[in-house]
């Protein structure tokens, strides 16, 4: 991974730059919404990336529950934290897009409400990990992650099966999209996915290092106490 990291970093920088250029210049202007529709190229890939990270959190949590592998727990933690960051982007860019298009910042529509609930579930997951000092915290967090992940398909499919204020899906679900728009959307999704992989890896490394330091400190304190006796 040491060699792959700088290569992925360069690829991410290139994809993000090209994605931004595509979103602002290459993609055609949408007929009804105009320029503000270009928020789509950041809003939708951020949502897809958040979903991917929450599924990674679920997979790592299940592995942890089965094998009690601390590295799986660290991966779950990193994925949840980075997922919350991407979900925050979705919840911030959504209302900024909604204001000029719908005339309101927020509505208690099913898709929006479920996304907010999803964000709250993973924030509570992070709060649990941050403030609980119990030795069972990773197990409780993993169980919460399994239940929390149930909200991801609900968020995704809410616009397929229910009539909502949120637009219907343009990719899959019978929607249609200009090929140039789809190209820019997919480039931005690839860019944000690479960026998420980099950040997630860095967060995972930090978590592993932090745990090693804490364990060493605890061991040295014990040895010190033993020597004083």
Partner 1 sequence: MSYLYAAYIATWVIHIAYLGYLVRGYTRVRDDIEEMNRKRRD
* Chosen residue from 116, 126, 170, 199 binding partner 1 by CB under 8 A: 199
Cα(215)–Cα(200) distance, integer angstroms: 22
Does residue 60 bind partner 1 (CB under 8 A)?
no
Does residue 190 bind partner 1 (CB under 8 A)?
no
| Closer residue to partner 1, CB minimum distance, 62 or 165 | 165
CB of 201 to partner 1, least distance (A): 11
Alpha-carbon distance values, 165 to 81, 107, 212, 224 (Å): 29, 8, 48, 63
Residues 97-156 that bind partner 1 (CB under 8 A): 97, 99-100
Alpha carbon 119 to chain centroid, angstroms: 10
CB of 143 to partner 1, least distance (A): 26
CA angle 97/102/103 to nearest 5° reads: 95
Question: Considering only 5-13, 32-40, 117-125, 176-184, which stretch makes contact with partner 1 by CB under 8 A?
Answer: 32-40
Cα(217)–Cα(174) distance, integer angstroms: 57
* Chosen residue from 202, 215, 222, 223 binding partner 1 by CB under 8 A: 202
CB of 69 to partner 1, least distance (A): 22
Does residue 89 bind partner 1 (CB under 8 A)?
yes
* DSSP label of 104: S
Alpha-carbon distance values, 111 to 27, 37, 162, 226 (Å): 26, 18, 9, 58
Alpha helix positions (H), 68-178:
70-102, 110-131, 137-148, 151-161
- List interacting residues with partner 1 (CB under 8 A): 20, 35-36, 38-39, 42-43, 46, 82, 85, 88-89, 92-93, 96-97, 99-100, 195, 199, 202-203, 206, 209-210, 213, 216-217, 220
């Amino acid at each position: 991974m040491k060699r792959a990291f700088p290569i992925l970093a360069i690829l991410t920088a290139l994809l993000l730059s090209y994605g931004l250029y595509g979103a602002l210049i290459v993609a055609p202007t949408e007929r009804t919404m105009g320029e503000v529709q270009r928020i789509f190229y950041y809003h939708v890939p951020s949502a897809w990336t958040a979903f991917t990270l929450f599924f990674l959190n679920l997979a790592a949590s299940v592995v942890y529950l089965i094998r009690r592998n601390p590295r799986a727990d660290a991966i779950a933690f990193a994925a949840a934290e980075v997922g919350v960051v991407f979900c925050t982007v979705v919840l911030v860019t959504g209302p900024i897009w909604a204001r000029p298009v719908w005339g309101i910042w927020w509505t208690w529509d099913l898709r929006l409400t479920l996304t907010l609930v999803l964000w709250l579930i993973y924030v509570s997951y992070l709060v649990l990990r941050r403030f609980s000092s119990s030795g069972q915290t990773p197990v409780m967090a993993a169980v919460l992650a399994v239940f929390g992940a149930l909200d991801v398909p609900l968020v995704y499919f809410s616009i397929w099966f229910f009539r909502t204020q949120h637009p219907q899906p343009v990719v899959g679900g019978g929607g249609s999209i200009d090929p140039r728009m789809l190209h820019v959307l997919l480039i931005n999704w690839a860019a944000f996915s690479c960026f998420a992989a980099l950040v997630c890896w860095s967060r995972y490394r930090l978590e592993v290092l932090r745990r090693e330091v804490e364990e060493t400190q605890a061991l040295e304190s014990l040895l010190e106490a033993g020597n004083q006796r």
